[in-house]
A and B are shown apart, each in its own frame.
Chain A
């Protein structure tokens, strides 16, 4: 079975500090990994994805994520957080055996205070 874990329900950081939102996965086969962001009462917005190749993936709004196969992780990072980054973040996985079906983590609420 495919699954995604986001171990932290809430992450709080000060503006200007680096942020990390954690994601680990459990799949059979090679994963396709995604990060999405959701603002209140809105749909999800795609941030970035890992398919293959370079383990460090850069995405929208200055976010990046590092794929670590040995640790089965895909943590989302940003060097300097903004108050406007405050939102709900979702990690998701797709595999060759689940083509088209994304399995989402429960989400991590990021709060950046001024």
Chain B
């Protein structure tokens, strides 16, 4: 069966520090991968998605970037964190698109102080 991992689970970082969040998927190959941010426990905002190694699409211009160095690894990064980057970050994968459900990881709670 497929599983998705995210780490760390929680993170407290000062403003201006770098960020690296990691997501890995097991039990499938060539998944579509997604990064979402959820603010204030409500709506999800799609940040990045990837259909293959090195292929990243950005939905919203911002202080963040994403990379996919391996087929089942997706990394969210920032060079300098802002207070507004605080939130709950969720990684997801799907087998394809056109009606395929996405499966979400457990999330990372980021607090920028």
State the A residues within 8 Å of B (CB). Answer: 32, 34, 36, 41-46, 49, 51, 88, 90, 94, 96, 99-102, 104-107
Tell me if B43 and A94 are in contact (CB < 8 A): no
Set of chain B residues within 8 Å of A106, measured between Cβ atoms:
42-43
Q: Please name the 5 residue pairs, one residue from A and one from B, whose CB atoms are nearest each other, closest first.
A: A100-B97, A43-B104, A51-B99, A32-B99, A99-B97
Q: Which of B52-102 contact A (CB under 8 A)?
A: 59, 88, 90, 92, 94, 97-99, 101-102
User: What's the nearest-Cβ distance from chain B to residue A32, in Å?
Assistant: 4
Distance of A99 Cα from B100 Cα, bound (Å): 10
Tell me if B104 and A94 are in contact (CB < 8 A): no
State the B residues within 8 Å of A (CB). Answer: 32, 34, 41-44, 46, 49, 51, 59, 88, 90, 92, 94, 97-99, 101-107, 109
Set of chain A residues within 8 Å of B105, measured between Cβ atoms:
43
Known interface pairs A43-B90, A43-B104, A44-B104. Does A101 touch B99 (Cβ–Cβ under 8 Å)? no
Tell me if B101 and A46 are in contact (CB < 8 A): yes
Report the tally of A-B residue pairs with Cβ distances under 8 A: 54
Set of chain B residues within 8 Å of A34, measured between Cβ atoms:
101
Set of chain B residues within 8 Å of A32, measured between Cβ atoms:
98-99
